[in-house]
Amino acid sequence: MHFEYQIEGGNFTRAGFASSEIKKMLKQLNVDLGIIKRTVVATYEAEVNVVAHAYSGTIYVDVDEEKIIIKLVDEGPGIENIDEAMKEGYSTASSKVREMGFGAGMGLPNMKKNADELKISSEVGKGTTVEIRMMFG
């Protein structure tokens, strides 16, 4: 099964809408509740990152009998140093993002903790792609 969701950069009113839709869809598919929680926490962290840092983005979700693959592709400034960004406490978030309760440099490390596999690639000036892979087995 394949689903797609659009993300609008800077729109904090809608941040989390796509993750919420993904959660509902996984519940309908009777996915294990523990896997759903880890999936949507990682996806929500990634979605908030797109809203916080990028101009726009798309979430591509693919579910089959063995796994869930969630790919977030954004158009934005990109990440200069991914290793640095993965360190807990490292953040380039604006004060607006911090007012929302984020921007403490915990998002990427928390995505890594929740995902079975996490891949990040980025090109400065173009954008970032985050792939979250969850296994059912």
Partner 1 sequence: MTIAEIAKILDANIITGHDLADHNIDIAFASDLMSDVLTLKDDNVLLITGLANLQTLRTAEMSDIHCIVFARNKKVSPEMQQLAEENDITVLECRYSVFRTCGILYQAGISPIF
Determine if 127 is a binding residue for partner 1 (CB under 8 A): no
Determine if 44 is a binding residue for partner 1 (CB under 8 A): yes
- Of 102, 122, 127, 134, the residue at the interface with partner 1 (CB under 8 A) is 102
Determine if 5 is a binding residue for partner 1 (CB under 8 A): no
Question: Considering the complex, what minimum distance in angstroms separates the CB of residue 26 from partner 1?
Answer: 12
Integer CA distances (angstroms), 66 to 37, 51, 69, 109, 133, in order: 17, 30, 10, 25, 11
Beta 56-63 vs 67-75: how paired, if at all?
antiparallel
Instruction: Dump strand ranges (E) for the chain.
Output: 2-8, 56-63, 67-75, 117-123, 127-135
- Of 5, 7, 26, 45, the residue at the interface with partner 1 (CB under 8 A) is 45
Structure-token match 């490292």, residue found:
90
Contact footprint for partner 1 (CB under 8 A): 12-13, 15-16, 19-20, 23, 33, 37, 40-41, 44-45, 48, 99-104, 106-107, 110, 113
